[in-house]
Amino acid sequence: MFEVSTTDAGSTDEVARHFIELEEPSDQRIDRFLSERFSLSRSRVAQLIDDGLVTVNGKRPKKRYPLRLGDRIDLVLPTPPPTRLEPENIAITVHYEDEHLAVIEKPAGLVVHPAPGHETGTLVNALLYHLDGLSTIGGDRRPGIVHRLDKDTSGLMLVAKRDKAHHRLSEALAQRKIQRGYVAAAWGHLEEEEFTLDRPIGRDLRDRKRMTVREGGRRAITHFKRLERWNAAELVAIRLKTGRTHQIRVHLLSIQHPVVCDPIYARRWDKGFGGAGGRWAENFARRAGRLFLHAAYLAFDHPETEKCLSFSCPLPEPLASAVDWARSTS
Protein backbone atom coordinates (compact mmCIF):
# COMPACT_ATOMS: atom_id res chain seq x y z
CA MET A 1 0.00 0.00 0.00
CA PHE A 2 1.35 3.39 -1.03
CA GLU A 3 0.24 6.55 0.78
CA VAL A 4 1.10 10.23 0.49
CA SER A 5 -0.29 12.83 2.90
CA THR A 6 -0.18 16.59 2.45
CA THR A 7 -1.55 19.61 4.30
CA ASP A 8 -3.13 22.57 2.53
CA ALA A 9 -3.19 25.69 4.68
CA GLY A 10 -3.65 28.07 1.79
CA SER A 11 -7.30 28.69 2.55
CA THR A 12 -9.05 29.73 5.71
CA ASP A 13 -9.92 26.07 6.41
CA GLU A 14 -6.86 23.86 6.77
CA VAL A 15 -7.25 20.37 5.31
CA ALA A 16 -5.19 17.20 5.18
CA ARG A 17 -5.17 15.32 1.88
CA HIS A 18 -4.35 11.62 1.69
CA PHE A 19 -3.56 9.70 -1.50
CA ILE A 20 -3.62 5.92 -1.12
CA GLU A 21 -2.97 3.31 -3.80
CA LEU A 22 -3.83 -0.30 -3.00
CA GLU A 23 -0.90 -2.49 -3.91
CA GLU A 24 -2.46 -5.60 -2.36
CA PRO A 25 -5.92 -7.16 -2.79
CA SER A 26 -8.51 -5.95 -0.28
CA ASP A 27 -11.80 -7.50 0.76
CA GLN A 28 -13.02 -4.36 2.55
CA ARG A 29 -15.62 -1.80 1.61
CA ILE A 30 -14.42 1.78 1.21
CA ASP A 31 -16.32 3.00 4.30
CA ARG A 32 -14.92 0.29 6.56
CA PHE A 33 -11.41 0.76 5.18
CA LEU A 34 -11.36 4.51 5.84
CA SER A 35 -13.07 4.12 9.20
CA GLU A 36 -10.40 1.71 10.47
CA ARG A 37 -7.41 3.43 8.85
CA PHE A 38 -8.20 6.94 10.06
CA SER A 39 -10.14 6.11 13.26
CA LEU A 40 -13.29 7.74 11.94
CA SER A 41 -16.84 6.72 12.73
CA ARG A 42 -18.73 5.07 9.87
CA SER A 43 -21.20 7.97 9.84
CA ARG A 44 -18.30 10.43 9.53
CA VAL A 45 -16.93 8.53 6.52
CA ALA A 46 -20.39 8.48 4.95
CA GLN A 47 -20.62 12.25 5.37
CA LEU A 48 -17.19 12.73 3.75
CA ILE A 49 -18.30 10.62 0.78
CA ASP A 50 -21.58 12.53 0.47
CA ASP A 51 -19.66 15.82 0.58
CA GLY A 52 -17.43 14.67 -2.31
CA LEU A 53 -14.30 14.54 -0.16
CA VAL A 54 -13.59 10.91 -1.04
CA THR A 55 -12.90 9.65 -4.56
CA VAL A 56 -11.74 6.29 -5.91
CA ASN A 57 -10.01 6.43 -9.27
CA GLY A 58 -11.28 9.99 -9.69
CA LYS A 59 -14.95 9.16 -9.06
CA ARG A 60 -17.16 9.46 -6.02
CA PRO A 61 -17.78 5.92 -4.70
CA LYS A 62 -20.80 4.45 -3.03
CA LYS A 63 -20.36 3.79 0.68
CA ARG A 64 -20.37 0.04 0.08
CA TYR A 65 -17.90 0.13 -2.80
CA PRO A 66 -15.63 -2.97 -2.58
CA LEU A 67 -11.98 -1.97 -2.88
CA ARG A 68 -9.85 -3.67 -5.53
CA LEU A 69 -6.17 -4.05 -6.27
CA GLY A 70 -4.81 -0.86 -7.85
CA ASP A 71 -7.58 1.42 -6.63
CA ARG A 72 -6.42 5.00 -6.00
CA ILE A 73 -8.14 6.68 -3.06
CA ASP A 74 -8.13 10.45 -2.61
CA LEU A 75 -9.36 11.61 0.81
CA VAL A 76 -9.66 15.24 1.83
CA LEU A 77 -9.95 15.41 5.61
CA PRO A 78 -10.82 18.83 7.01
CA THR A 79 -8.80 19.61 10.09
CA PRO A 80 -11.23 19.70 13.00
CA PRO A 81 -11.73 23.02 14.76
CA PRO A 82 -10.04 23.48 18.10
CA THR A 83 -11.68 21.17 20.60
CA ARG A 84 -14.25 22.67 22.91
CA LEU A 85 -13.68 19.88 25.38
CA GLU A 86 -12.36 21.01 28.71
CA PRO A 87 -9.52 19.23 30.55
CA GLU A 88 -10.79 17.59 33.73
CA ASN A 89 -8.75 16.25 36.62
CA ILE A 90 -10.16 12.72 36.49
CA ALA A 91 -7.92 10.05 37.99
CA ILE A 92 -6.28 7.73 35.45
CA THR A 93 -2.99 5.84 35.55
CA VAL A 94 -0.43 6.64 32.86
CA HIS A 95 1.76 3.54 32.38
CA TYR A 96 3.89 5.00 29.58
CA GLU A 97 4.22 8.27 27.71
CA ASP A 98 6.52 9.77 25.10
CA GLU A 99 6.08 12.45 22.45
CA HIS A 100 4.18 10.08 20.13
CA LEU A 101 1.82 8.04 22.30
CA ALA A 102 0.74 7.01 25.76
CA VAL A 103 -0.53 3.84 27.41
CA ILE A 104 -3.10 4.53 30.11
CA GLU A 105 -5.29 2.51 32.45
CA LYS A 106 -8.98 3.39 32.26
CA PRO A 107 -11.06 2.83 35.38
CA ALA A 108 -14.43 1.10 35.13
CA GLY A 109 -17.43 3.40 34.80
CA LEU A 110 -15.63 5.99 32.68
CA VAL A 111 -17.02 6.66 29.19
CA VAL A 112 -14.20 6.91 26.63
CA HIS A 113 -15.36 9.93 24.64
CA PRO A 114 -18.17 12.50 24.71
CA ALA A 115 -21.53 11.50 23.28
CA PRO A 116 -25.13 12.61 23.80
CA GLY A 117 -25.75 12.29 27.52
CA HIS A 118 -22.02 12.22 28.32
CA GLU A 119 -20.65 15.62 27.34
CA THR A 120 -18.23 15.82 30.27
CA GLY A 121 -16.53 13.48 32.69
CA THR A 122 -15.07 11.24 29.96
CA LEU A 123 -11.68 9.67 29.40
CA VAL A 124 -10.97 12.25 26.69
CA ASN A 125 -11.47 15.03 29.26
CA ALA A 126 -9.01 13.25 31.54
CA LEU A 127 -6.47 12.80 28.72
CA LEU A 128 -6.61 16.51 27.91
CA TYR A 129 -5.66 17.19 31.54
CA HIS A 130 -2.95 14.57 32.02
CA LEU A 131 -1.22 14.48 28.60
CA ASP A 132 0.57 17.24 26.69
CA GLY A 133 -1.34 16.97 23.43
CA LEU A 134 -3.49 14.48 21.52
CA SER A 135 -3.72 13.59 17.84
CA THR A 136 -6.52 15.22 15.83
CA ILE A 137 -7.40 12.19 13.72
CA GLY A 138 -10.45 11.28 15.79
CA GLY A 139 -11.97 14.75 15.41
CA ASP A 140 -13.10 17.03 18.20
CA ARG A 141 -14.96 14.24 20.00
CA ARG A 142 -12.34 11.46 19.97
CA PRO A 143 -8.89 13.07 19.87
CA GLY A 144 -6.12 10.53 20.38
CA ILE A 145 -8.43 7.51 20.66
CA VAL A 146 -6.91 4.56 18.76
CA HIS A 147 -9.27 1.93 20.19
CA ARG A 148 -12.01 1.89 22.81
CA LEU A 149 -13.12 0.02 25.90
CA ASP A 150 -16.71 -0.28 27.04
CA LYS A 151 -17.73 2.10 29.82
CA ASP A 152 -17.82 -0.68 32.43
CA THR A 153 -14.56 -2.31 31.31
CA SER A 154 -11.31 -1.30 33.01
CA GLY A 155 -7.75 -1.63 31.80
CA LEU A 156 -5.10 -0.66 29.31
CA MET A 157 -5.68 1.62 26.34
CA LEU A 158 -3.37 2.98 23.67
CA VAL A 159 -3.59 6.72 23.00
CA ALA A 160 -1.96 8.65 20.13
CA LYS A 161 -0.45 12.09 20.72
CA ARG A 162 0.67 12.77 17.13
CA ASP A 163 -1.27 12.29 13.90
CA LYS A 164 1.52 10.31 12.25
CA ALA A 165 1.61 7.88 15.18
CA HIS A 166 -2.18 7.63 15.09
CA HIS A 167 -2.15 6.65 11.40
CA ARG A 168 0.43 3.93 11.95
CA LEU A 169 -1.22 2.55 15.09
CA SER A 170 -4.62 2.45 13.38
CA GLU A 171 -3.06 0.56 10.49
CA ALA A 172 -1.41 -1.90 12.89
CA LEU A 173 -4.76 -2.41 14.63
CA ALA A 174 -6.52 -3.07 11.31
CA GLN A 175 -3.79 -5.57 10.40
CA ARG A 176 -4.20 -7.29 13.80
CA LYS A 177 -0.65 -6.48 14.84
CA ILE A 178 -1.63 -5.08 18.23
CA GLN A 179 -2.05 -7.73 20.91
CA ARG A 180 -4.83 -7.19 23.44
CA GLY A 181 -5.38 -9.51 26.37
CA TYR A 182 -8.24 -9.52 28.86
CA VAL A 183 -9.20 -11.27 32.08
CA ALA A 184 -12.84 -12.04 32.79
CA ALA A 185 -14.94 -14.08 35.18
CA ALA A 186 -17.59 -16.14 33.40
CA TRP A 187 -20.59 -17.85 34.97
CA GLY A 188 -20.64 -21.65 35.07
CA HIS A 189 -17.94 -24.10 34.03
CA LEU A 190 -16.51 -24.07 30.51
CA GLU A 191 -16.38 -27.42 28.75
CA GLU A 192 -12.83 -26.93 27.45
CA GLU A 193 -9.76 -25.50 29.11
CA GLU A 194 -8.63 -23.70 25.94
CA PHE A 195 -10.68 -22.93 22.82
CA THR A 196 -11.43 -20.39 20.09
CA LEU A 197 -14.78 -18.95 19.03
CA ASP A 198 -15.16 -17.82 15.41
CA ARG A 199 -18.71 -16.51 15.28
CA PRO A 200 -20.06 -13.44 13.41
CA ILE A 201 -21.39 -10.57 15.50
CA GLY A 202 -23.96 -8.00 14.42
CA ARG A 203 -26.53 -5.64 15.85
CA ASP A 204 -29.46 -7.40 17.55
CA LEU A 205 -32.40 -6.81 15.23
CA ARG A 206 -34.86 -6.83 18.15
CA ASP A 207 -32.84 -4.59 20.48
CA ARG A 208 -30.50 -2.10 18.82
CA LYS A 209 -28.60 -1.53 22.08
CA ARG A 210 -27.39 -5.14 22.08
CA MET A 211 -25.07 -7.10 19.84
CA THR A 212 -25.58 -10.77 19.06
CA VAL A 213 -24.10 -13.72 17.20
CA ARG A 214 -26.02 -13.88 13.94
CA GLU A 215 -25.77 -14.68 10.27
CA GLY A 216 -24.71 -11.64 8.29
CA GLY A 217 -22.68 -10.18 11.15
CA ARG A 218 -19.00 -9.30 10.93
CA ARG A 219 -16.51 -12.07 11.54
CA ALA A 220 -15.31 -12.14 15.15
CA ILE A 221 -12.55 -14.37 16.56
CA THR A 222 -11.81 -14.73 20.27
CA HIS A 223 -9.33 -17.05 22.01
CA PHE A 224 -10.14 -18.29 25.55
CA LYS A 225 -8.09 -20.09 28.20
CA ARG A 226 -9.29 -21.12 31.66
CA LEU A 227 -7.09 -19.82 34.47
CA GLU A 228 -9.06 -20.93 37.54
CA ARG A 229 -12.25 -22.90 38.27
CA TRP A 230 -14.44 -21.91 41.23
CA ASN A 231 -17.77 -22.97 42.66
CA ALA A 232 -20.07 -21.48 40.01
CA ALA A 233 -17.72 -19.40 37.84
CA GLU A 234 -14.31 -19.44 36.19
CA LEU A 235 -11.48 -16.96 35.69
CA VAL A 236 -10.64 -16.78 31.99
CA ALA A 237 -7.79 -15.25 29.97
CA ILE A 238 -8.94 -13.85 26.63
CA ARG A 239 -7.13 -12.73 23.52
CA LEU A 240 -8.84 -10.80 20.72
CA LYS A 241 -8.04 -11.39 17.08
CA THR A 242 -10.78 -9.01 15.93
CA GLY A 243 -12.36 -6.08 17.74
CA ARG A 244 -16.14 -6.03 17.39
CA THR A 245 -18.45 -4.16 19.74
CA HIS A 246 -19.02 -6.20 22.94
CA GLN A 247 -17.15 -9.10 21.30
CA ILE A 248 -16.02 -10.91 24.47
CA ARG A 249 -19.35 -10.43 26.20
CA VAL A 250 -21.40 -11.63 23.23
CA HIS A 251 -19.18 -14.63 22.50
CA LEU A 252 -19.33 -15.84 26.11
CA LEU A 253 -23.10 -15.38 26.16
CA SER A 254 -23.36 -17.42 22.95
CA ILE A 255 -22.00 -20.48 24.81
CA GLN A 256 -24.14 -19.79 27.90
CA HIS A 257 -21.26 -18.54 30.06
CA PRO A 258 -21.76 -14.75 30.22
CA VAL A 259 -19.41 -12.37 31.98
CA VAL A 260 -20.15 -11.99 35.68
CA CYS A 261 -22.19 -8.86 36.52
CA ASP A 262 -22.79 -7.96 32.87
CA PRO A 263 -25.71 -5.49 33.07
CA ILE A 264 -26.71 -6.11 29.44
CA TYR A 265 -26.02 -9.77 28.74
CA ALA A 266 -26.12 -11.50 32.16
CA ARG A 267 -29.01 -10.06 34.13
CA ARG A 268 -30.10 -12.35 36.97
CA TRP A 269 -27.46 -14.96 36.15
CA ASP A 270 -26.18 -14.79 39.72
CA LYS A 271 -29.59 -16.21 40.71
CA GLY A 272 -29.53 -18.92 38.06
CA PHE A 273 -27.77 -21.54 40.16
CA GLY A 274 -29.59 -23.76 42.62
CA GLY A 275 -28.73 -24.54 46.24
CA ALA A 276 -25.26 -23.67 47.49
CA GLY A 277 -24.18 -22.64 43.98
CA GLY A 278 -26.88 -19.99 43.92
CA ARG A 279 -25.86 -18.55 47.27
CA TRP A 280 -22.19 -18.60 46.22
CA ALA A 281 -23.00 -16.83 42.93
CA GLU A 282 -24.99 -14.10 44.68
CA ASN A 283 -22.14 -13.51 47.13
CA PHE A 284 -19.52 -13.45 44.36
CA ALA A 285 -21.55 -11.03 42.23
CA ARG A 286 -22.04 -8.74 45.22
CA ARG A 287 -18.29 -8.73 45.91
CA ALA A 288 -17.37 -8.09 42.27
CA GLY A 289 -19.88 -5.26 42.11
CA ARG A 290 -19.25 -4.45 38.43
CA LEU A 291 -18.69 -6.01 35.03
CA PHE A 292 -15.90 -8.53 35.59
CA LEU A 293 -13.88 -7.67 32.49
CA HIS A 294 -10.42 -6.10 32.57
CA ALA A 295 -7.99 -5.26 29.74
CA ALA A 296 -4.89 -6.68 31.39
CA TYR A 297 -2.33 -6.86 28.56
CA LEU A 298 -1.27 -4.73 25.60
CA ALA A 299 1.65 -5.20 23.20
CA PHE A 300 2.58 -3.39 19.98
CA ASP A 301 5.50 -2.12 17.91
CA HIS A 302 6.25 1.54 18.54
CA PRO A 303 5.22 3.50 15.40
CA GLU A 304 8.51 5.42 15.31
CA THR A 305 11.22 3.27 16.91
CA GLU A 306 9.62 -0.08 15.89
CA LYS A 307 10.60 -1.40 19.31
CA CYS A 308 8.14 -3.92 20.76
CA LEU A 309 6.45 -2.52 23.86
CA SER A 310 4.36 -4.64 26.21
CA PHE A 311 2.34 -3.69 29.27
CA SER A 312 0.29 -5.51 31.86
CA CYS A 313 -1.79 -4.41 34.83
CA PRO A 314 -3.34 -6.52 37.60
CA LEU A 315 -7.02 -6.75 38.44
CA PRO A 316 -8.21 -3.62 40.24
CA GLU A 317 -10.48 -3.52 43.26
CA PRO A 318 -13.09 -4.77 43.91
CA LEU A 319 -12.35 -7.53 41.36
CA ALA A 320 -9.10 -8.59 43.05
CA SER A 321 -10.85 -9.05 46.41
CA ALA A 322 -13.66 -10.99 44.73
CA VAL A 323 -11.07 -13.38 43.30
CA ASP A 324 -9.49 -13.87 46.73
CA TRP A 325 -12.92 -14.71 48.16
CA ALA A 326 -13.69 -17.11 45.29
CA ARG A 327 -10.44 -18.97 45.87
CA SER A 328 -11.08 -19.30 49.59
CA THR A 329 -14.60 -20.67 49.12
CA SER A 330 -14.11 -23.07 46.20
Instruction: Kindly give the pairing relationship between strand 154-160 and strand 308-312.
Output: unpaired
Catalytic residue among 50, 132, 140, 150: 150
Phi and psi dihedrals of 271, rounded to 5? -105, 10
| Contact yes or no for 119/55 (Cβ under 8 A) | no
CA distances from 167 to 119, 195, 208 (A): 26, 33, 31
5's CB contacts (< 8 A; 6+ apart) are 16, 17, 18, 19, 167
Tell me, yes or no, if 150 is annotated catalytic: yes
Q: Which residues are catalytically annotated?
A: 150
